[in-house]
Homo-oligomer: A and B are copies of this chain.
């Protein structure tokens, strides 16, 4: 049976992503982890077979913990990606009403995603940042009736809370992209994407020269993300997603050239593209 890891606690959108991916599996066992680090290390160490981890949100940006682990701490490959629409809700204890709310709790990202709703409905309310939307729901469940959490419908179920308002996020485009990691990446489907991470030499024009290689081979870049190299302020590593599979002739040749021109290179995997909501913006 396939052991499939996800980032707990139950009731977060990471569990929802895991269930969405598991819907296509015959037989699996879900394993809950407390941190992205432990989750990815367990795949590397063969304790679990695959893991579903968040990598990017359409409002809040990159999930740095995932990028940093993939770049330098674990040797695993991306075999699939999936997108989950994030819908935030106002969750309260059974006998709490709008007028009773004195303090709103959630993860800073969730608070940020509902900023306009909070400012219009609860001007001046106290905001308390906690480590996860599920932790906020748990605290509200044990609170005195003046608290509200921002979180998922699943969190309302898990902690027995009432949903006072649905879909309170600013805008309708709050989507988190997750990747499935394993010891091997995906097989070629003809509609694939590949991810690499690299650092360039410390001289002018070095990033430009790498993008020039993709331009030369007509390879579309869908994403570039920089992260600090961590050894010096002003030095970076770059995550790039390009269209194509590592077995495609052109991409194979381009990546071979990229490897020559960089000071650090790591291939993160080829995997089928998401079918919707994700277009090629760059070459």
Contacts and interface: CB of A to CB of B under 8 A. Distances in A.
A130 B58 CA distance: 25
Contacts of A60: 64, 228
A233 B277 contact: yes
A233 B282 contact: no
Interface residues of A, number: 53
Contacts of A204: 220-221, 280-283
Contact of A173 (B83, B206, B211, B231): B231
Contacts of A226: 61, 223-226
A205 B212 CA distance: 10
Given A129-B131, A206-B281, A224-B226, 11 more contacts: A173-B232, A203-B281, A205-B283, A208-B211, A208-B221, A223-B236, A224-B224, A224-B236, A226-B226, A232-B277, A234-B277
Nearest to A277: B233
A131 B202 CA distance: 35
Contacts of A14: none
A15 interface: no
21 contacts: A56-B233, A58-B230, A59-B230, A60-B228, A61-B226, A61-B227, A129-B131, A202-B281, A205-B220, A205-B282, A206-B282, A208-B211, A208-B214, A208-B283, A223-B226, A223-B234, A223-B236, A224-B226, A224-B236, A233-B277, A236-B281
